Amino acid sequence: MEYDETIILKNGGACRLRNGTEKDGALALANYILTHEQTDYLLTYPDENIMTGERESQFLKERAESADEIELLAEVEGVVVGLAGVSRVGTAEKVRRRAEFGISVDKNYWGLGIGRALTRACVASARRAGYAQLELAVVAENEAAIALYRSEGFVEYGRNPKGFYSRYSGWQELVLMRLELR
Ligand SMILES: CC(C)(COP(=O)(O)OP(=O)(O)OC[C@H]1O[C@@H](n2cnc3c(N)ncnc32)[C@H](O)[C@@H]1OP(=O)(O)O)[C@@H](O)C(=O)NCCC(=O)NCCS
């Protein structure tokens, strides 16, 4: 899917939100690894990463050509500072109206409005793709993310007390959230 929008951040700077393409593999992967080093709230650790620049390029190419999945980049001064995506839950008839949402922003750029803008762009893209529901799972202590999701209309529908096992802090409860799109 395609997306292209430029927004003005809380610090007055410009940020371009656009779908990643084959050319963005290296920069997108660098941001992915960086954000996974900066927080313990994401699914994987940087040392578990199996992507290469080449594989990331292929992934972004497929997403750009997809009719119902997207990977968005947030770019500030030509540098990728955040990623967010919409992925289908499955292709089986019973689940094909559901999609999953994921997001991460470089810590050095938190609080500027990038997370909200990426979230809105993903919601708009999921709607455009025709999904009925957008879903996510968030670590219960991740107050910033939960506040963001609630304010964009996501509602909690359950919790998984043993959702993640952190190598630093042990069990992390996951809050399951959903947004009805139609
Ligand atoms: C969650 C995340 C994407 C937010 O990105 P961001 O660019 O800082 O978000 P924004 O600046 O657009 O802020 C959006 C909202 O988040 C909430 N928020 C942001 N920082 C917050 C903080 N320190 N404390 C509480 N709420 C906060 C606020 O509701 C804010 O809205 P407001 O500006 O109107 O008050 C970012 O912190 C991040 O990437 N975290 C690490 C990865 C992660 O946790 N991903 C989510 C996994 S489910």
Tell whether ligand 1 has an atom less than 6 A from the beta carbon of residue 42: yes
For ligand 1, whether the C-beta of 112 sits within 6 Å is: yes
Length of the chain equals 182
CA distances from 105 to 90, 125, 140 (A): 26, 19, 18
Domains belonging to the chain, first-starting first, are 4-180 (3.40.630.30)
- Tell me the pLDDT tens digit for each residue of 117-137: 999 999 999 999 999 999 999
Question: How many whole angstroms separate alpha carbon 149 and alpha carbon 145?
Answer: 6
Q: Where are the alpha helices (DSSP H) in 9-70?
A: 25-38, 53-65
Arithmetic mean of pLDDT, 62-87: 98
If you average pLDDT over residues 61-88, what whole number do you get?
98
Q: What pLDDT does 2 receive?
A: 98
pTM > 0.75: yes or no: yes
Ligand 1 atom 5 nearest Cα = 115
* pLDDT of the residue at 53: 97
Query: How far is 9 from 112, CA to CA, in rounded Å?
Result: 6
Measured in angstroms, how far is the CA atom of residue 105 from the centroid of ligand 1? 9
User: Residues 23-35: pLDDT tens digits?
Assistant: 999 999 999 999 9
* pLDDT value of residue 157: 98
| Ligand 1 geometric centre to CA of 111 (Å) | 6
